[in-house]
Amino acid sequence: MNKPFAITLDVGSSLANKTGSWRTERPVYVDRLPPCNHACPAGENIQQWLFHAEEGNYEAAWRQIMKDNPMPAVMGRVCYHTCEGACNRAKLDKPVGIHAIERFLGDLAIAEKWNVNVEAKASGKSVLVVGAGPSGLAAAYHLALLGHAVTIREAGPFAGGMMRFGIPKYRLPREVLDAEIQRIVDLGVKIELNTRVDDLDAVLATHRFDAVFLAVGAHLAKRAYIPAGDASKILDAVSLLRGMETGEQPLLGRRVLVYGGGNTAMDAARSAKRLGATETIVVYRRTREKMPAHDFEVQEAMEEGIMFKWLSTIKSESGGTFTVEKMKLDDKGKPQPTGEYEEMQADSLVLALGQDVDLSFLGKLKGLSINDGVVQVDSNMMTGCKGVFAGGDMVPAERTVTVAVGHGKKAARCIDAYLKNSVYAPPPKHELAVFDALNSWYYSDAPATVQPMLDLARRESTFEEVVGGLDQSNALFEARRCLSCGNCFECDNCFGVCPDNAVIKLGQGKRYAFNYDYCKGCSLCANECPCGAIKMVPETI
């Protein structure tokens, strides 16, 4: 968190670091790392922007987000909010709805036409970004702010990558995505659409780029061998979702099977329902507890009438009849065949078994190391080829929009350092602010704000956005549920409880200091600090 640091004073003391033999410990003000910040793959300073939001200073909150993430309206919709999973407030009641507040700020910025400006001087350096997905766009944004000229080459007809071609409109309206991409373009980033890079080595031989960032998404669907009498009845989820964006929607029929258990399977099943399927059944070889899809995605799918067939795997198809084998989990939780079969009738089968990255364009590039379908990078995200960096789906990591955006930001900083003949060194982190360090009894009950949902009838028949946003009143309320874990917010508790007048107020925004001439080391201030921003340390002579 970037609030002003409090300082400690030893006013008028003739004994350095000690005021009397009765004191064995002294209090010091500390800044701890909030768990939400720590858990954010994009590296957002969440507590800092929540601090602005809870004061009603929404533009300042948005600008704080924009230091790390150029697409808050997108992220507030599609991020799986690991920050909320780490939120200390969850141990009191419910976590702060961070994603909902971020979405509110992103939407408000679009409505108010807030923009960011490039303040850095032009560096004279140019960077090629391959792929206009979340990682490539984030890298381009940060590189542009650092003064570099950026060109993105995108194979598809639109920018956005899997945000556009893998996330349905009912989760991410395209006008929101387009607005945040346009803001990046307005910084001077050049996006060349329908421009596939087939041979990176040839491109670098004919065009002058000082560095390259590879950010190609996982657009290739994994296939499974399923003997089929009519192969046209089997398609993959990536093609289905992409076709909905390009206007090439397949005819799925009335009864659709979706094979897989991830978030893409949920998107495919819910989309099939909206495309007219009267029955959509997800076939998965494990149980719901073992499903990689996020629980809220499964729950929303069930609400929309999606059915699930657990512990099952599809073996073959013939004339619209699918043979399904029942599975059982062994003592290690892995599915094992039982030899028991049943038949299911369906008009089509959608495979949602994961995706791979097309790395064929890297074939002639020297120095690259590719392992298990991904490019290996060092701690600064550089590949084995000097000046060529990679991130997002192309490198070993969890494949989410938030992770990709974080990669883009880190890569931009590493590329900037490389262009300056330096190496990027991230700043050190403070110790984590754990729940046990807080004094939760100071915080009043504040039930979490529930986002509105589109009614079921419209959810099943249209691609209107399912989850609604917050308004100014409930966004403000939700922001004020933040506990400010580990960082002083000037509540005056330490000032009020000190029996010796040893706490000095330094003025609004400057926090406090200790006068150790008066402090006896009783630790009342540390015990009564709501957010755990005071630490007792051993006294020294």
Q: Residue 114's pLDDT is what?
A: 98
Q: Residue 21's pLDDT is what?
A: 53
What angle do helix axes 263-274 and 237-246 make, rounded to 10 degrees? 50
CATH number of the CATH domain containing 232: 3.50.50.60
Would residue 432 count as lying in a domain?
A: no
What angle do helix axes 58-66 and 46-54 make, rounded to 10 degrees? 170
One domain, residues 213 and 169: yes
**Measured between alpha carbons, how far is 226 from 283 in angstroms, rounded to an integer?**
14
pLDDT per position as a tens digit, 437-450: 898 777 778 889 99
For 433, phi and psi rounded to 5 degrees? -85, 105
pLDDT per position as a tens digit, 507-528: 988 999 999 989 999 999 999 9
Q: Report CA-CA distances (Å) from 195 to 244, 356, 417.
A: 21, 20, 28
Would residue 430 count as lying in a domain?
A: no
**Of residues 2 and 143, which shows the higher confidence score?**
143
One domain, residues 131 and 164: yes
Q: What mean pLDDT is reported for the chain?
A: 92
Q: Residue 163's pLDDT is what?
A: 96
Mean pLDDT of 141-170: 96
Among candidate residues 193, 197, 229, the one with its CA nearest the CA of residue 213: 197
Judge residue 248's burial from the number of C-beta atoms within 10 Å of its C-beta, 0-12 exposed, 13-18 middle, 19 or more buried. exposed
pLDDT per position as a tens digit, 57-101: 999 999 999 999 999 999 999 999 999 999 999 999 999 999 999
pLDDT per position as a tens digit, 334-391: 999 999 999 999 999 999 999 999 899 998 788 899 998 899 999 999 999 999 999 9
**Measured between alpha carbons, how far is 280 from 301 in angstroms, rounded to an integer?**
10
User: Of 311, 327, 353, which closes a domain?
Assistant: 353
Mean pLDDT of 387-396: 95
Would residue 429 count as lying in a domain?
A: no
Q: Residue 7's pLDDT is what?
A: 47
One domain, residues 49 and 64: yes
One domain, residues 227 and 303: yes
One domain, residues 214 and 228: no
pLDDT band for position 10 (cuts 50, 70, 90)? very low
- The residues with which 221 forms a beta bridge, in sequence order, are 355
**Measured between alpha carbons, how far is 484 from 433 in angstroms, rounded to an integer?**
10
One domain, residues 215 and 363: yes
One domain, residues 239 and 326: yes
- For residue 408, the one-letter residue type is G
Q: Residue 6's pLDDT is what?
A: 45
CATH number of the CATH domain containing 41: 1.10.1060.10
Residues contacting 153, CB < 8 A, separation 6+:
128, 129, 130, 131, 192, 195, 196, 197
- For residue 495, the one-letter residue type is F
Q: Residue 424's pLDDT is what?
A: 94
Would residue 157 count as lying in a domain?
A: yes
Q: Is the pLDDT of residue 17 over 80?
A: no
State both tokens at 380: 């600064």
Share of the chain above pLDDT 90, in %: 82
Q: Report CA-CA distances (Å) from 189 to 39, 44, 114, 266, 345.
A: 30, 22, 18, 34, 50
pLDDT band for position 23 (cuts 50, 70, 90)? confident
Number of neighbours of residue 436 by Cβ within 10 angstroms: 9
One domain, residues 105 and 215: no
CB 353 within 8 A of CB 222: yes
Would residue 8 count as lying in a domain?
A: yes
User: Of 353, 381, 398, which closes a domain?
Assistant: 353
Q: Residue 252's pLDDT is what?
A: 92
One domain, residues 147 and 241: no
Q: Report CA-CA distances (Å) from 413 to 81, 401, 454, 537.
A: 24, 19, 40, 36
pLDDT band for position 420 (cuts 50, 70, 90)? very high
Q: Residue 14's pLDDT is what?
A: 38
Q: Residue 223's pLDDT is what?
A: 84
One domain, residues 372 and 257: no
DSSP 154-205: -SSSSS-THHHHTS-TTTS-HHHHHHHHHHHHTTT-EEETT---S-HHHHHH
pLDDT band for position 541 (cuts 50, 70, 90)? low
Task: Name the DSSP letter for residue 488.
Answer: -
One domain, residues 19 and 40: no
**Measured between alpha carbons, how far is 340 from 317 in angstroms, rounded to an integer?**
16
Task: Give the torsion sign (CA, 83, 214, 238, 138).
Answer: positive
Q: Residue 540's pLDDT is what?
A: 76
Q: Residue 338's pLDDT is what?
A: 95
| End-to-end CA separation in angstroms for the chain | 32
Number of neighbours of residue 87 by Cβ within 10 angstroms: 26
**What three-state secondary structure class fits 25?**
strand
Would residue 308 count as lying in a domain?
A: yes
For 427, phi and psi rounded to 5 degrees? -65, 150
One domain, residues 235 and 334: yes
Q: Residue 24's pLDDT is what?
A: 87
Q: Is the pLDDT of residue 16 over 60?
A: no
pLDDT per position as a tens digit, 246-269: 888 788 999 999 999 999 999 999
**What domain count does the chain have?**
4
3-state helix, strand and coil shares in percent for the chain, rounded to the nearest 5:
35, 20, 50
CB 227 within 8 A of CB 316: yes
**Of residues 539 and 135, which shows the higher confidence score?**
135
Would residue 431 count as lying in a domain?
A: no
pLDDT per position as a tens digit, 285-309: 999 999 999 999 999 999 999 999 9
Number of neighbours of residue 219 by Cβ within 10 angstroms: 21
CB 236 within 8 A of CB 221: yes
Would residue 424 count as lying in a domain?
A: no
State both tokens at 203: 């491109």
Q: Residue 441's pLDDT is what?
A: 77
User: Of 430, 449, 479, which closes a domain?
Assistant: 479
Q: Residue 333's pLDDT is what?
A: 87
Query: Poorest-confidence range of 185-199, 299-313, 357-371, 483-497?
Result: 357-371
Q: Where are the alpha helices (DSSP H) in 329-469?
A: 401-419, 456-461
Mean pLDDT of 204-215: 94
Structural domain harbouring 317: 222-353
